[in-house]
Chain A
Amino acid sequence: MTMRVFVNLYSTLRLDRFSDAEVELPGDATVADLLDKLQIPLQDVGVVVVNARSGTFQQKLQADDRITLIPPIGGG
């Protein structure tokens, strides 16, 4: 069983990738699995939002979820 999710990437995560895309994942995939598939190292992500709610790496995804990923480029 696979599922489709919608992914928005911002800032430098777009480089050599995309800004918006549909991604196929196994039915039990998490945000971390999505990053793995997109070959994005965990350290390159500062903010995860799933369906307009703040998300985590361990969060389990569902079909048609909308995921936003933003790199950590603030703070000091």
Chain B
Amino acid sequence: MPFGYNGKILHVDLTNQEWRVEEPGEKWYRTYWGGSAFASYYLLKLLKPGVDPLSPENVLIFACSVVTGTPLSGWNRYTVSAKSPLTHAFGESEAAGYFGPELKFAGFDAIVIRGRSAKPTYLFIKDGELQFRDAKDVWGLDNFETMLRIQEEVGDKRARVASIGPAGERLIRFANVSNDVEHFNGRTGMGAVLGSKNLKAVAVRGAKRMESAEPEKVKEIAHWHNARIKTHPLNVMLTHFGTPGIVKGLNAAGILPTRNFREGVFEGADKLNADAYAAILHSTGTCWSCAVKCKRRVALDDEKYPLNPKWGGPEYETIAALGSMIGNDSLPAVARGNQLCNLYGMDTISMGNLTAFVMECFENGILTEKDTGGRKIQFGDPDAMLWLIEEVVHRRGIGDILAEGVKTASERIGGGSEQFAFTIKGNDLPLHDGRGKTGVALGYALSSTGADHVETPHDPGFQGDGVVNLYALGLLDPVEPLETDSAKVRFFALGQKAWGINNLLGICNFTSVPVHAMTFHNLVEALRAVTGWDTSLYEIMLAVERSMVMSRIFNLREGLGPEDDRVIRRWHEELPGGHLQGQKIDEQEFRRAIDLFYELSGWDRRGRPTFGKLVELNLEWLQAEMP
């Protein structure tokens, strides 16, 4: 009997409304472990290169890990993956909340969805059985109404619903997947893939609980972990202030992305930080079995920016995306924009980048009021942001072009707009400035999903003795956040895999080893106690690397190459002010760091994993897939 997981993968054929269960066996689970690796495995096996991401041929995966649903703080995340309609490359996004554990309790470790339903459909998975259900009454509804209606239709208020809003239905390229309108698989446009398949939602409900091989040991580690979280600095901050707590520090450090990454200091940051948040804070929330409680709910009785506590509160990324990034210092407007995006089902990181792009085009006369039916779109105007959200989600006027994402929109707009369109591998940038964190810059350049802030070590946290929690990886030297030398590449290569454990196993970064909330020793002890496997940190690190190499090969197959492993032009220019005034990333030095990463990783000069690397990772089967 497997411990920690079900041993069952649900395969769904939407075209023929059929389903079957695959039982891949223990060796498969121990090779791939979960999340991003399960996703890469099925994308590589089932998808041919060159497929239109919005065609029925695309494959959509919901994946937990072998340990999701184990009651440790933060062990509740799940992956949604497909070929991305935003980047035309590997698409992947994680979300926390309650959906992942509930999917496990319903009897499955992952869902692999193919084809396209002839009419709007949603899936209801309960206790090992699947129902295809007519979505005609929920199609067109926002995420909140969709959740309520589906819970009513299936007769269970505790069913967990992962859904798309109107943005996903209308194939907005950065549409997301929502669960509880509080947790989002936000990045790379996974919501548009659901929309293209006429799939409105996946609802799950299960009565079982996951069994561990050594339940007493798991309980003991969970107890230790929760006690640590209650006194651990970052978690104390997150419990009291949530992620808005980092606005102040980033601004003081001179790396709060401001006005389309032009600056790193925002004059209105005090109005966006944790202290300001208190004025709209309604209550706090958490995710399944997590002691941190970092979620924020907001409320405001205001005619212009009304806020409903059931529609989610902005996290750091959104505060910067819809705030400093567009020169907006109104937190209620940020929160309103966030709630609209949540209801419609659009990624706030992409929406903020898109708004900033339009604003800079306006500032430079590339877009004018003629393009927007008379509406001015200027930095500092929050109502322009709210207006753009409506135009995009309804695909009205210029909104129809912008709905294709910054990269495609700039190609269509032309006129020099490309110089203000900042994406990496076609993905919009999370709100971290690589000029002050070169490890993050390397992460943005090298991630298979394009710019991705959860797949990379944030190097300022590893200065001085801050690196102590990575000693177990053999990293004994302090990290210099501004360097791109060989020591940084060594740190990055190991740090990236340490963070990669989280996407593989569905663990929240905030409760994980790199931020000092866990130790490698107790992580491995917990994995042993859950699965019963005599595993080790070495085996886990190999699994993370396997996962990263698989998504890399997916991208190589799609035609991506070393020229796509880069950062944005603006980061090669000097920061104009603040604590890091004059700081920039030297383009040639950065390229050398990328090349060194290839070499260190066992990749060739074109960034392709060598056959030796595939052998090391037990991935010989992928040699035939190499372009």
Contact = CB atoms under 8 A, between A and B. Distances in A.
A45 B241 CA distance: 12
Contact of A73 (B461, B469, B516): B461
Interface string B468-496: 11000000000001000000000000000
B231 A57 contact: yes
A46 B515 contact: yes
Contacts of B243: 75-76
A12 B233 contact: no
A53 B468 contact: yes
Given A12-B579, A70-B463, A47 B234 contact: yes
A10 B237 contact: no
Contact of B237 (A11, A42, A49, A56): A42
Given A15-B252, A52-B465, A46 B237 contact: yes
Contact of B465 (A58, A68, A75): A68
B249 A42 contact: no
Contacts of A71: 249, 253, 460
Contacts of B237: 42-43, 45-46, 72
B316 interface: yes
A47 B466 contact: yes
Most buried by B among A8, A57, A71, A73: A73
A74 B453 CA distance: 9
Interface string A12-55: 10010000000000000000000000000011111111001110
Size category of the binding interface on chain B: 35 or more
Contacts of B463: 10-11, 70
Nearest to B275: A43
Nearest to B228: A56
A14 B130 CA distance: 57
Nearest to A50: B465
B315 interface: yes
Given A8-B465, A58-B231, A73 B236 contact: no
B291 interface: no
A15 B253 CA distance: 10
Interface residues of A, number: 29
B229 to A, nearest CB: 10
B246 A48 contact: no
B475 to A, nearest CB: 13
B515 A43 contact: no
A65 B266 CA distance: 37
A42 B274 CA distance: 13
A62 to B, nearest CB: 16
A74 B228 contact: no
Interface string A58-71: 11000000101011
Contact of A47 (B250, B252, B516): B516
Contact of A72 (B234, B315, B468): B234
A70 B453 CA distance: 19
A76 B453 contact: yes
A45 B233 contact: yes
Given A12-B249, A56-B232, A70 B468 contact: no
Nearest to B315: A76
Interface of A: 8, 10-12, 15, 42-49, 52-54, 56-59, 66, 68, 70-76
Interface of B: 228, 231-234, 236-237, 240-241, 243, 245-246, 248-250, 252-253, 255, 274, 315-317, 430-432, 437, 440, 453-454, 458, 460-461, 463-466, 468-469, 481, 509-510, 515-516, 519, 579
The 5 lowest CB-CB distance pairs between A and B, nearest first, are A74-B458, A56-B231, A49-B465, A68-B465, A12-B252
23 contacts: A8-B465, A11-B249, A12-B249, A15-B579, A43-B237, A43-B274, A46-B234, A46-B237, A46-B249, A49-B466, A54-B232, A54-B468, A56-B231, A57-B236, A66-B465, A68-B465, A72-B233, A73-B246, A73-B249, A73-B253, A75-B234, A75-B246, A76-B432
